[in-house]
Chain A
Amino acid sequence: MYGKGMLKGLGVTLVRFWNTYWDDAVWMWRRVTTGDKRYHSKEGIAHRSSKNARGIFTVQYPEEKLPVPEEFRYLPFLVYDEGADGKREILCTSCGICAKVCPPQCIWIVRTNDPLTGRPVPQPAEFYIDGDICMSCGYCAEYCPFDAIKMDHDYELAAYTRNIYDLEKLLKSSTYYASIRPANAAREEEARKAKEAAKSARSATHAAAA
């Protein structure tokens, strides 16, 4: 029969249409019983990006925002540790690996030289990232041997001018880093502790041997 296929298809859209309103009714009931809201709430957004999602699928950005996963990457930043007296201890040693591995070559680093000896000091004098050229590939964070450069989670970066980030704009605290990437930060902290323990054990055996 001509038109059977069309009716079948229309059936699909009808079911979808019905589900949307049925779901709203179900959520209204849940709101009364458990207090869960369908819109503008964490559980509502989680439901809309789960395997049970049906009906309304969209997220009302910017009022609602999808949570970003830990590995989400968007433009790098430099990590500093808070020192005892509020001093910022920059982890970067200006070794230049990030600038060398960067595919669009958007990282510029000026190495600090000791004014007396002229020898390089492990600290960047200047650090630029051209945010308009950066492709957010994450290589700098991946290959940094000092865990000094990491990828950020902040994706709302619209600007009227070129996004050129200098050292001041790039520096963010290790507390912030641990807050956006808790699992990674914990793993790196553990590795650092293990390394230090191994180092002190080695020096202890050296001392014992001496």
Chain B
Amino acid sequence: MTTPASTPTLRPAQGDASDLAARFPGVVSPDTRPGFSGFTIPADKLVEVATIIRDELGYDLLSSVTGVDYLPENKMEVVYHAYKTTGGPALVFKVQVPRDNPVVASMTPIWKGAEFQEREAWDLLGIKFTGHPDLRRILMWEGFEGHPLRKDWKEAFYEEDAKPFKSRWPDGKHVLAEARNPFSDNLRFPSGFDPEKMTFADPEEALYRSLKKYTFEDADGIQADHIIVNLGPQHPSTHGVFRSAVILDGETVVSLKPVMGYLHRNHDKIGERNTFLQIIPYTDRLDYFCSMTNNHGYVLAVEKLMGIQVAERAEYIRVIMDEITRIQNHLIFFGMLLNDLGAMYTPALYAFEERELILDIFEAAAGSRMMCNYYRFGGVVRDVPAEALQKLRDLVFDRLPGKIDEMERLLTENDVLVSRLKGVGYLSAEDAINTSMTGPMLRASGVPYDIRRADPYSIYDRFDFKVACRPDGDLYARYMVRVDEVRESIKILQQALKQIPEGPTMSVKPQYQVRVPAGEAYGRIESPKGELGYYVISNGKPNPWRYHIRASSFINLTALEMMCKGEKIADFVAILGAIDIVLGELDR
């Protein structure tokens, strides 16, 4: 473990959020709506203020960028959450623009990490970002009509604005959804778009245009072009349906663009139709390896809105479940990374053995191995059964430490692994922060930023653990950071299992309809893949007005091109594997 003694502070933090309004009197004003916080900035001053926020106030990590459609007020709002990599709370700033012509200056020159999130806001909400280098749709396809997250947009099987649907009770005659509403009746295309004549040329052209110019003139004046290779969507290295369009010069990557959205189901919109409680099982389906941590981030956001405390025993159970989730996620990461490198199955199956035993515990506690749906507002659904807790103790104290040592003996010094990983896919600390990398990716670039320490949630401030950090910024560092993290997680688990108190697992009476006061909340946790944030806006109704996920798999891909440039095409697979993406979360 190498935790650098002095934090590599890239930009000294000199001020804090409270200075902002004083610095720009009459320009920046605090958001005074009840339940809301942060500052409102006029659209024309955004770039100026944001530069000050980054350079002088020291908020170097732009965590989340998202749009909100305020249909009744006829406004669109873009919400930014910026953090300091040295720790502390967020600086939230917002821009409001008219709904019929929403144009906002792009943040990409200041924080490159805004790139994908702004594309998402354009795709789903139709907010235009001037100065964005590549403003195309990102999750939907080019022949898609409209911007689906707008409040007046209705999906194909639209029934009502919000659940519960009235047709279910008291006269709930069952009908098949597809019988009531045949899909073909709902298919809409943009004007001038004819699916019959579509040759797939136009969307592809837009993609290839966004890549680096691929025809060039060589020394003899001959027109030549680089090869375009499409990796995916069906490719085993992509861990699902993810595609990268790559331009190659020989075997070297010149330019690369990730293409995603093949598993897109508009999780945000589904969430807005659901009640607050109904969203919890849907969050399981985001990063399906880590449903426990997904639950945690969401309930954290809603608990903030509701202003309720969590039962003491439940806090311990949450920490235990989060950390055991981290262990199994990282074990799978080792296995899958090695699969990507060509060491088929041996490491993966060794990892799966431990994961099996961990999933047995999830099953005994939550009732399901992967779709846990275990956390509730104010606690967890039920106590961990005594025998499952005993099994957990056996694992954490007796089995897992030895198994991590075994995994390390198998892999860490393996010469082939070392030569494939060392010095490949380099990402500097500055670039990592600027592209909003979080989690092990950021820590492998030498930035010891872990939300469990930087902005502690739950009861993480009670445990003694180190923030795993490696300064090298290459693939080997990303591998080692995860090894270190597994060891630290075991340490946390051992402490938590010793300290866990008796008591109730819910602080409030379980209710099927929760009352959530109006306001906004951003709940974020250190998920195994990085920062997982949930931005929830309530208007006092049973359903959230806005529900947005800051998915770490998605945003960590921003730096993919940066890391791959100049590397060999075979290393692309390893670089992508080391980001540790899960398509359920990436495409949402």
Contacts and interface: CB of A to CB of B under 8 A. Distances in A.
7 contacts: A6-B416, A13-B410, A51-B391, A101-B275, A107-B168, A128-B174, A164-B174
A124 B416 CA distance: 66
Given A13-B346, A101-B277, A135-B281, A73 B368 contact: yes
A139 B368 contact: no
A46 B281 CA distance: 30
Contact of A9 (B367, B381, B410): B410
Contacts of B515: none
Given A5-B415, A137-B371, A108 B360 contact: no
B399 A110 contact: no
A148 interface: no
A73 B367 contact: yes
Indicate the size class of the contact surface on chain B.
35 or more
A96 B169 contact: yes
B22 interface: no
Contact of B367 (A12, A71, A135, A143): A71
A69 B170 contact: no
B354 to A, nearest CB: 10
B368 to A, nearest CB: 6
Contact of A108 (B172, B346, B512): B172
Nearest 8 interchain pairs by C-beta: A108-B172, A5-B413, A96-B169, A137-B281, A128-B174, A111-B170, A103-B278, A73-B367
A5 B412 contact: yes
Contacts of B513: 100
Given A53-B353, A137-B371, A70 B170 contact: no
Main secondary structure of the interface of B (DSSP, over half): helix
Nearest to B170: A111
Contacts of A96: 168-170
B256 interface: no
A68 B172 contact: no
A118 B56 CA distance: 72
A2 interface: yes
A70 to B, nearest CB: 7
Interface string B153-178: 00000000001110111111110110
A133 B281 CA distance: 13
A103 B281 contact: yes
A72 B416 contact: no
B412 to A, nearest CB: 7
Nearest to B172: A108
A4 B413 CA distance: 8
Contact of A49 (B360, B366, B417): B360
A30 B165 CA distance: 59
Contacts of B388: 69
B172 A142 contact: no
A73 B414 CA distance: 42
A70 B385 contact: yes
B409 interface: yes
Contacts of A72: 363, 367-368
A130 B415 contact: no
Contact of B382 (A2, A71, A103): A71
Indicate the size class of the contact surface on chain A.
35 or more
B278 A108 contact: no
A200 interface: no
Given A50-B394, A110-B170, A135-B281, 9 more contacts: A5-B412, A11-B409, A13-B410, A16-B350, A100-B512, A111-B170, A137-B280, A138-B373, A142-B510
Contact of B415 (A3, A49, A105, A126): A3
A101 B512 contact: yes
A99 B168 contact: yes
Contacts of A191: none
Interface string A97-139: 1011111010111110000000010000010101001011111
A119 B278 CA distance: 31
Contacts of A206: none
Contacts of A16: 350
A108 B357 contact: no
Contact of B414 (A6, A103, A108, A126): A6
B373 A5 contact: no
Interface string A136-158: 11110011000000010000000
Contacts of A50: 394
Contacts of B398: 51
B364 interface: yes
Contacts of B512: 97, 100-101, 139, 143
A143 B357 contact: no
A100 B394 CA distance: 41
Nearest to A112: B170
A14 to B, nearest CB: 11
A139 B170 contact: no
B415 A138 contact: no
Nearest to B405: A12
B169 A109 contact: yes
Contact of B168 (A9, A105, A137): A105
Nearest to B382: A71
Given A51-B357, A53-B353, A101-B512, A71 B385 contact: yes
Contact of B172 (A51, A107, A136): A107
B97 interface: no
B406 interface: yes
A105 B164 contact: yes
B369 to A, nearest CB: 9
A9 B274 contact: no
Contacts of A120: 170
Nearest to A2: B415
A162 interface: yes
Given A57-B353, A128-B172, A51 B399 contact: yes
Interface in B268-319: 274-275, 277-282
A6 B346 CA distance: 14
Contacts of A69: 360, 363-364, 367, 385, 388
Interface in B367-423: 367-368, 371, 373, 381-382, 385, 388, 391, 394-395, 398-399, 406, 409-418
Nearest to B388: A69
A137 B364 contact: no
A71 B399 CA distance: 25
Nearest to A127: B172
Contacts of A4: 413, 415
Nearest to B418: A5
B204 interface: no
B510 A110 contact: no
Interface in A81-98: 94, 96-97
Interface in B170-217: 170-174, 176-177
Contacts of A101: 164, 275, 277-278, 512
Contact of B356 (A5, A12, A57, A142): A57
B125 interface: no
A135 B171 CA distance: 23
B557 interface: no
